[in-house]
Amino acid sequence: MHKASLSAKILIGLLIGGGLGLAAKTLAHDAAWLPWVVDNITLPAGQIFLRLLFMLVIPMLFSALVIGICGLDVKHLGRMGARTLGYTVVASLIAVLIGMTLTNLIRPGAGLPDELRSMATANSATLTVPKPPDTTGVALLVAMFPDNPVKAAANGEMIGVILFSLIFGVGLSFTQTSGALRLREVIEGLYDVSMTLINGVLKLAPYGVAALIFTMTARLGTELLPYLLSYVSVVLLGLGLQMFVVYPLAIRFLGGRSPLAFFRSVRVAMVTAFATASSSATLPTALKVAEENLGLPRHVSRFVLTAGSAMNQNGTALFEGVTVLFLAQLFGVELGLGQQFLIMLICVLGGIGTAGIPAGSLPVIAMILVTFGIPVEGLALILGIDRFLDMCRTTLNVTGDLVAATYVARGEPATPHDETGIFP
C-alpha cells in the first residue's frame, strides 16, 4: 500500500464498512447472526487495530520528545532555542484553548440519545488504564510529575510520560559525553523503528476502519451523521481562528511585518502542506520560502523550521483537543475542569511528540481516549473524515512554523556564527 493511496483506501474502507453496516441494520436488524458477527468478527478486528496503535504510543512519544528537545540544542543555541521553545508552547496552548473552548460552547457531540449511546458503547474495548482523578490546585500539579516513569508508562499516565521525556531530553542535550551521544543515536533509532511500525499499522487502517465503522453503523445507522458534521465545523472554525486571527497578530506584533505580505510570501508552502498533509514533506518548500520570499537568515530558518516540523504542531494540538472532547460528549463521558486541564497539557506537549506524517496524531489521541475512559471505537468515525482535516491542520502547522521563524529572526543577527560548527 503506497502512502499516496492510503487516504483513498481508508475512504473506501469507510464506505464499504458503513454501507454493509447500514444494509445489515436495515435488512437483518432482528436476526441472530448480526450480533454474533459484530461481537466475534468486526468488533475484535477493530480492537486489534486500535491496540496496535496503543502499543506504539509510549516508544513513539518518548523518542520523539527526547529527539525534539535535543534538536533544539539549548546549550549551544541558548536564546534562539529558548525563544523557539517558548513560542511553540504558547502558540500551541492558544490553539488548544481555542479548540476546547469552542467544543465546550458548541458541544458538537452532545444530545445523542441514551439508547443509541448504550448501543455504541456496548462491548467497547476495555484496557486496564486508571482514570485520572479530577483534582485541582497543588495536588494536580504534584500528580503531573511521576515518581516512577516506568510505572507511569505502564499505567498509561500520559502527562507523567511526557514530562519525564522532556526532562530526559533536556538532560541528554546538556550531556556531551561519548556515552550520551551513543544513547542519543539509540533513541533516534528507536524513533525510526517506531515510525516504521506506525506506518505499517496505518496500512491496516482501511481494514480497521471498515470493521469499526461496520460495528458502529450496524448498531446506530445514520444517527451520527449530524454530530460528525458539527464536529468538522468546530475543527475548521478553530483552525480558522488560529490561522486568521492569532497568526496575523503574532506576525504584526512579534514579527514586525505586514500579515498580508506574509501570507502572500508563504502561499506556496501552504498549498504544499495542504496537498501533502505532512509537515516533514513540506519542509524543503518551507525552507525555500523562508529564505527566498521572507528573507529570513539562513541559520534561523533552518533551525526553527527543522525543529518546528517535528515540534510546533499547533493545528495537531487543536485537533487532538477538539476530538477528545467531542468523543467524550458523544459517549456521555463527563470531564471535570481538572481533567480538561490535563487533556490540554497532554495535547500541547503531545503535539511536540507527534510525527509529522499523515495521521501521525492518531496514536496520541487513542491513548488519551483510553486514559480518560472514552470508548476508542469512536476513532473509526474520525478516521473516515480525517484526511481532509489532516490537510487543513497541516497547513496551519506549516504556517505556524513560518510565523515562529519570522518571530525568532527578528531578534537574531543576520549571519550565522559559523565558528560554532552547528550550521554549514
Band (pLDDT 50/70/90 cuts) for residue 153 is confident
- The answer on pLDDT for 297 being more than 60 is yes
Residues 31-59, mean pLDDT to the nearest whole number: 81
Alpha helices in 372-423 (DSSP H): 379-410
Is 3-420 assigned to CATH 1.20.58?
no
Helix runs in 221-336, H state only: 225-241, 247-253, 259-276, 279-288, 298-311, 314-330
Residue 197: how many CB atoms within 10 A of its CB? 15
**Helices 362-371 & 158-174, crossing angle to 10 degrees?**
130
Torsion angle of the four alpha carbons 312, 351, 309, 359, in this order, in degrees rounded to the nearest 10: -140
Q: Tens digit of pLDDT for each residue in 173-225?
A: 888 899 999 999 999 999 889 888 888 887 887 888 788 888 877 876 677 78
Say if CB 405 and CB 296 are below 8 A apart: yes
The tens digit of pLDDT for each residue in 220-279 reads 667 778 888 899 999 999 999 999 999 999 999 999 999 999 999 999 999 988 877 777
Q: Where are the domains of the chain?
A: 3-420
Residue 359 has what pLDDT? Answer: 57
Please state, rounded to an integer, the average pLDDT across all residues of the chain. 80
pLDDT given at position 174: 85
Distance CA 376, CA 153 (A): 19
Higher pLDDT, 359 or 249: 249
Which of 21, 16, 14, 40 lies closest to 220, judged by CA?
A: 21
Q: How far is CA 53 from the centre of its chain?
A: 13
Report pLDDT for 362.
74
Question: Are the C-beta atoms of residues 325 and 343 closer than 8 Å to each other?
Answer: yes
What's the CA gap between 19 and 218, in Å, rounded? 9
Q: Is the pLDDT of residue 127 over 60?
A: no
**Is the pLDDT confidence value at 323 over 50?**
yes
Least trusted range by pLDDT, from 68-77, 263-272, 380-389? 68-77
Contacts (Cβ under 8 Å, ≥6 apart) of 269: 282, 285, 286, 289, 398, 399, 402
Q: Where are the alpha helices (DSSP H) in 29-113?
A: 33-37, 43-72, 74-77, 79-106
- Mean pLDDT of the region 106-134: 64
Give the cell for residue 273.
502542506
Q: Which of 380, 382, 332, 329 is nearest to 43 (CA)?
A: 380
Which residue would you say has higher pLDDT here, 250 or 6? Answer: 250
Q: Does 157 score more than 80 pLDDT?
A: no
How far apart are the two ends of the chain, measured CA to CA in Å? 38
The closest of 354, 378, 375, 352 to 364, measured between CA atoms, is 354
Residue 316 has pLDDT above 80, yes or no: yes
Residue type, 380: A
pTM of the predicted model as reported, rounded to 2 decimal places: 0.74
Looking at residue 102, what is its pLDDT? Answer: 97
pLDDT at 416: 45
Work out the average pLDDT over 331-350.
Answer: 86
Residue 333 has pLDDT above 60, yes or no: yes
Residue 215 is placed in which grid cell? 460495528
What H or E segment, with its residue span, contains residue 160?
A: helix 158-174
Q: Express as a percent the part of the chain with pLDDT over 90.
A: 26
